[in-house]
Structure 1
Amino acid sequence: MAEITTQAGAAAQPRAPLSRGRVLAAAVALADEGGVDALSMRRIAQSLGVVPMALYKHVANKNELLDGMIDVLMGEIDPPAAGTDWKTAVRRRVLSARRMLLRHPWAPAVIESRVKARPTPTPAVLEYLDSMIGIFRSGGFSTDLVHHAMHVMGSRLLGFSQELFQDTPDGEPDPDAPPPEEMAARYPHLTELARAVAHDRRSVVGSGCDDQFEFEFALDLTLDGLERLRATA
């Protein structure tokens, strides 16, 4: 009788309501388990014990699902360290981002593909990049030097090594992007940087950036660093 009562009590416990957060967490867990290519609405629904159609109240399609998953992962990166110099703060966050990616090996390809597919990164990525620019600015970097530093760092800011600043093939603006005034309020450092840099529409490294200058800047910075290492070896 006690066993029956216990089972009945367990059955009577209400199930947690479906939410966007639960859907994204389940999707991340499934991608960790079998890779993002095996991810489907049906599998996510099965893991949550709901019908697939229930998911579409929280994510409209696969692309929105992937964007939401990226934002979940960005939340795993450590916040900026207080009371440290700019170099320590940047290094710690980049290494935290790399640890996050090591926990989720599928993530770099998804981040890269979504950056290429949409002109405006997800809100969590924008917030992260804005905070990183803020660290450089607080460390005494000019907006011009921050611009070049962001190219040198590239996707290393997110823990892997691919060019972070990509345009969509047609270069059209993102229809889902917030209006300029909202962008300026939410991401002041990114806005400052975007307004300060010169634009060259033929650029391939970023929207309006000087390919040759950024290539030589990164090359010279790398060689200078190697020279310092050579001198101290």
Structure 2
Amino acid sequence: PQARAPFRVVDAGQQRKAMSLLTEQVFSDQSYQFPPEFYNQLVSTRWIHWGAVDVDRPDYPVHEAVLMWQKRMLQQLLDTRTLTRLADNGLKVDPKDDRFTSAELLRTLTDSIYSEVYKLETGEYSDRAPAISSLRRNLQAETLSALGKLALGVGSRITLSSVSFSSRSSVAAPDARSLANYQLKRLQKQVVKVLKQSEQKSSKLVLDDATRAHLESVIRRVDAILRAEIMTSAP
């Protein structure tokens, strides 16, 4: 009776610290701001041997490589097993104690990855100095896809081994679907607000073409997801 429980829910504060670490070191584009000379030094090997991986370009695919690792982190955070365990924690933690919930996870993730949308500073942006960088646009598009799948009930479950990283489809829990749907609507509302602000004649916010096209794409994609969600949830 006095034995220690075999499982113990990780402290909520510790989980928030982990999220902050991912936000600052993985999802932020500042983590990849190296001098151009550094990226120009990264080239594929010309030595062909049995252990070499075939490449289709001699230079380093920066955007592709960065998104690959960001996507892996994103998949683990939105894994159906992760979200289900967070929901189960509600029964494993005293109601009076602090708890990190799936609602907080999705809200924190969306707010941090789309921080430019929620906290966009006024100014005149350009192709060379966009409101949202290309690395962040890639990550935001990937996040939108992940939230869209959750909203439609199509989750994913990660399989990790010493030699592989794979993902397979899994049914998302009702709460996860509802929360993803809520974050998508909330995001779309904010994007519409930003675009309307930039279109006013006296506006001090001038968006670059890439950012504007990206934000307009967000609106269209969320609309498509919500329409599909209504159809799939119909009796």
TM interval, shorter chain, is 0.3 to 0.5
TM-score normalised to structure 2 length: 0.35
Structure with the larger strand share: 2
- Which has the greater radius of gyration? 1
Which structure has the higher relative contact order (CA within 8 Å, separation 6+)?
2
Structure with the larger helix share: 1
